[in-house]
Amino acid sequence: MFNIDFTGEYAAFFIFSAIMICGAVLMITLEKVVHMVVSMAAVFLGLAGMFVLLEAEFVAFVQVLIYAGAISILMIFGIMMTKHQSAEQEPVKPLKEALAIIGALSLFGILFYAIRMTTFPEPAPFQAGEDNTMAIGMTLYTGYIIPFELLSVLLTVAFIGAIVLAKKEAD
């Protein structure tokens, strides 16, 4: 029933899966917003590792650069520039908590059963495509250099404008 060859790719899959699951669980359970952003960045990095396993190196690079880097930093800046009042803790309701656990375990059981009972066709041999990362770079930095630079200036102006607006509110 469980004929699985244990390879390095298989181990990496489970390591990245554990990183993503732990980051997601921490994201919804932590109370400090900065800690939530850090755990969300861990999910993004785990997803980038999954893209590497799928041999999509460019997508993994973009995932790390844009999501794990830029979005996380943008969220941290947004958190630091706004005022936060500590919210009162809502009382824990044991019935709702028990129903949520039962529902989650039921969903897991149904999905596990459905996956185990499904017969998947044999995959075709992998046909490696050509690496188009260089073609994307050449097109971006030759034919689209002006829009690329204008976009970077626009984003810089928007970021400075956000800082100016946040500073006026603080005064």
State the 10-residue block means of pLDDT for the chain, 171 residues long: 77 94 93 85 92 87 84 76 66 87 94 88 75 78 85 87 74 56
Q: What angle do CA 75, 77, 82 make, to 5 degrees?
A: 95
Model pLDDT, residue 63: 87
Tokens for 15, please give them: 């390591």
How far is the C-alpha of 71 from the C-alpha of 73, rounded, in Å? 5
Residue entry with tokens 């073609």: 135
What tokens does 104 get? 């989650």
pLDDT (0 to 100) of residue 106: 96
Please state, in angstroms and rounded to a whole number, the distance separating the CA atoms of residues 122 and 19: 29
